[in-house]
Amino acid sequence: MTEGPLLNRLLITGAAGQLGRMARQKARPLARHIRLSDVADLAPADDHEEIVSCDLGDKEAVSALVEGCDGILHLGGISVEDHFSKILNSNIVGVFNLYEAARHHGMPRIIFASSNHAIGFHKQDVQLDASAMMRPDGLYGVSKCYGENMASLYHDKFGQETLIVRIGSCTPEPRDHRMLATWLSEDDFISLITCAFRAPRLGCPVVYGASNNDACWWDNGAAKYLGWCPKDNSEEFRTKLDREQQRPDPNDARSLYQGGVFTEDPIYPD
């Protein structure tokens, strides 16, 4: 017997971004209907898709966006270091709005796209697990720490289940030598999302979003119960990177810190 969709309606926020566009294609089998949202323009809806423009900072709009969904893939928000006012609206106010909307609309499971930049000031020679202290490398990283703590609060206070994914570098292939440790293949990300929606019990685990790379800084042992087994390995790209790029100096931020050059970003004035 063929297994049917896990969800009736999956909401994907940030659907116009790089990860959102990928998920729009590869997450289709997970749900009968996909609701796609962003403030940026989206390609016209296909069958079984809905497109809803929504500013995450608008509480009423976010409530309407979440209503009727039984799963949320939250990729929306600012995804790089930026001015605090922009981060504040989408990554802080927007996250609160999302969790309040979920609380009032049946508490659908949430996949929260956190980031390795929540722990970016840890050195690369330190292996981290889910209990590692947050060490954000910028205001963007701080906003992801906030989102992780919001997920924890709503789980403890209301029972809202969230998978917190500290995404490394989810790209078709690693773009530099640092990404040999942080790379998360698109297929491995989709398989993680599938595990989160399929699991009888999710809770509120922290999972480091990286494939089965030989180069590894992160330990996901605490989340083994989800049954996620990433299959891809960045090692197949090492020879190509060695041929095309010079390895960074050992004292370069790209070699020292897990967050790489994000540790060198300034605080942008508003």
CB 145 within 8 A of CB 118: yes
The pLDDT tens digits of the residues spanning 190-237 come to 999 999 999 999 999 999 999 999 999 999 999 999 999 999 999 999
Catalytic residue among 99, 140, 146, 208: 140
The pLDDT tens digits of the residues spanning 82-132 come to 999 999 999 999 999 999 999 999 999 999 999 999 999 999 999 999 999
The pLDDT tens digits of the residues spanning 5-35 come to 999 999 999 999 999 999 999 999 999 999 9
The answer to whether residue 1 scores a pLDDT higher than 80 is no
| C-alpha to C-alpha distance for 145 and 64, rounded to whole angstroms | 26
The pLDDT tens digits of the residues spanning 54-83 come to 999 999 999 999 999 999 999 999 999 999
| C-alpha to C-alpha distance for 82 and 253, rounded to whole angstroms | 19
| Helix (H) / strand (E) containing 33 | strand 31-38
CA-nearest of 253, 230, 114 to 177 is 253
By CB neighbour count within 10 A (0-12 exposed, 13-18 middle, 19+ buried), where does 186 fall?
Answer: middle
pTM for this entry: 0.97
User: 7-264, what's its fold?
Assistant: Rossmann fold (3.40.50)
| C-alpha to C-alpha distance for 64 and 125, rounded to whole angstroms | 45
The answer to whether residue 177 scores a pLDDT higher than 90 is yes
Q: Is 225 a catalytic residue?
A: no
- Arithmetic mean of pLDDT over the chain: 97
Each domain of the chain, given as residue ranges in start order, spans: 7-264
Dig out the tokens for 95 from the structure.
Answer: 């996250």
| C-alpha to C-alpha distance for 214 and 217, rounded to whole angstroms | 10
| C-alpha to C-alpha distance for 209 and 184, rounded to whole angstroms | 6
